[in-house]
Amino acid sequence: MAQPIPAPAPTVAQFANPLPVICTQYCAPYAVDLAVVKKVMTISGGNFVVTDNNDNVIFNVKGNLMTLHDARVLLDAAGNPIVTLREKRMTAHHRWNVYRGESKEPSDLIFTVKRSSTIQRRAKLHVFLANNTNEEVCDFMVEGSWAEKSCVVYTGDRTNIIAQMCKKTTVRSVLVGKDNYSVTVHPNVDYAFIVALIVILDDMNHITDMDGLFFNLAMSKAELPSSVNVPGK
């Protein structure tokens, strides 16, 4: 029997034209390197600062984990809202919807992100643009390691790599209670879109920590004997 031909390995995207998801102004004709810094020890939660190689602030992400509805707002350097990331509660795949500005109207929906399965040992997210209503095939895909906090963003067919992220750990970042991520966005890819995905991925990472706890508890329970003989009874 003939062996199936393996799928070609994904390659770094070389788009001749911009690939805007949020806005064309965030599509540079060259690779963009960003530093994404999350403040860990904060009661407000969900706060990120995004800078370029020259330490210029490009974006801020503000949010409040203490409210009833989890939401993050991606702001430009001047403080203007670009998009709002809203978690859709009570969904098995932990869906997030991303809207223009500070809207929550369906007409302003840009894209949706959800986990490919309910419980995951590795990160795998599917991204659907607003016009992809049947959600049979994703438009983009995020794959990576929850433990290493690294990921790769692909086009939906997984043939093109459009961005990569890894965690940077320094003595200073540990002391001041911050998570640092290094991100490379390839030419003509919307880097505001990539930042929004990383913020959602970071939030889902905390959910996956809980999944791991429940998984370990379930495995421990499965290993227990069905009955225990107590001496003297």
**Contact call for residues 72 and 46 (beta carbons, < 8 A):** yes
What percent of the chain shows pLDDT beyond 70?
Answer: 71
pLDDT, tens digit, 9 for 90 and up, residues 76-87: 999 999 999 999
What distance in Å separates the CA atoms of residue 130 and residue 134, rounded to the nearest whole number? 10
Residue the block writes with tokens 């970071």: 202
What distance in Å separates the CA atoms of residue 35 and residue 37, rounded to the nearest whole number? 6
What is the number of other CB atoms lying within 10 angstroms of the CB of residue 65? 15
The residue among 120, 140, 157, 116 whose CA lies nearest residue 22 is: 140
The HSE-up count of residue 122 (CA atoms within 13 Å, CB side) is: 8
DSSP three-state, residue 27 = strand
The HSE-up count of residue 38 (CA atoms within 13 Å, CB side) is: 22
pLDDT, tens digit, 9 for 90 and up, residues 167-206: 876 544 444 446 788 999 999 999 999 999 999 998 887 6
Looking at residue 112, what DSSP letter applies? E
Length of the chain: 233
pLDDT, tens digit, 9 for 90 and up, residues 109-160: 999 999 877 666 778 999 999 999 999 999 999 999 867 778 999 999 999 9
First-last CA distance in the chain: 61
pTM of the model: 0.80
Looking at residue 7, what DSSP letter applies? P
What distance in Å separates the CA atoms of residue 48 and residue 51, rounded to the nearest whole number? 10
Is the predicted pLDDT of residue 90 greater than 90, yes or no?
A: no
The residue among 30, 44, 95, 53 whose CA lies nearest residue 73 is: 44
What mean pLDDT, rounded, does the chain reach? 81
The residue among 229, 23, 232 whose CA lies nearest residue 111 is: 23
**Contact call for residues 215 and 119 (beta carbons, < 8 A):** yes
Which residue segments constitute the domains of the chain, with CATH numbers given?
Answer: 11-220 (2.40.160.200)
DSSP three-state, residue 194 = helix
Which residues neighbour 45 within 8 Å (Cβ) at sequence distance 6 or greater? 63, 64, 65, 66
Backbone angles phi, psi at 221, to 5 degrees: -65, -40
